[in-house]
Amino acid sequence: MRKVPLSIVIPTFDEAGVIREQLVRLQVLRSRGVEVVVADGGSTDRTRELAAPLADAVVLAHRGRAAQMNAGAQHAHGDVLLFLHADTRLPERADELIVTGLGAADKSWGRFDVQIEGSQVLLRIVGMLMNWRSRLTGIATGDQAIFVRRGTFERCDGFRDIPLMEDIALSRRLKWFGRPLCLRGRVITSGRRWQRDGAMRTIVLMWCLRLAYFFGADPARLALRYDHARSER
């Protein structure tokens, strides 16, 4: 099996509107030996067709971000795995920041600071609070582009196959191996969800869901609450 220093795993479902642009941006990393794996959950649009020429592999998986990322990780060959949303842009030379940073800090996992794209001042504040909270708690979210050494990821048994909070659940287990490397290089994540559902409404909803999860709420029930809240919009 060929080995590469870094594999990027991108879970997708009906992302035809953004996947080509995302993968075009990642070609410079591919030219430096980074592997890109798209893990698709059964898209009904042209996502897989658009991704195929621009990725090292397109893997078809059961729908659900956790299941898709686990399937992508299984297929990937990298010593380090980076889980990236289809609408999140990496900073320049992200591969070097990750590989060099993990080695220099003797860490097994980490994440980037995040900035939410959009003109609203509130979105910039939300991003700052997310970064601050993550440094304080040692918990990372998927928007922050979590990366982890393959061996550590496997010892954690990957992502729990739950419909929501899979990133929080993984972070909790990764903390057994030490606190995360918090890179100050910023990923830029789309503000489409925040603008569509309302920034303040989304903030309150996500904080309530995370607090409920912290106190032991069933992720399946939380996912239903999340979907119900969005459908009311």
Residue 44 has which token pair?
């009904």
Tell which residue, 174, 163, 146, has the closest CA to residue 73. Answer: 146
- The Cα 58–Cα 52 span in angstroms is 6
Spans of all domains in the chain: 4-114+140-190
Residue 162, classed as helix, strand or coil, is coil
What pTM does this model have?
A: 0.92
For residues 107 and 98, the answer to whether their CB atoms sit within 8 Å is no
Options 3.10.20.30, 3.90.550.10, 2.10.240.10, 3.40.50.1820; which CATH number does 4-114+140-190 get? 3.90.550.10
User: Read out DSSP for 82-109?
Assistant: EE--TTEEPPTTHHHHHHHHHHHHT-SE
* pLDDT range class, residue 78, cuts 50, 70, 90: very high
- The Cα 207–Cα 218 span in angstroms is 15
Q: Is the pLDDT of residue 163 over 70?
A: yes
* pLDDT range class, residue 125, cuts 50, 70, 90: confident
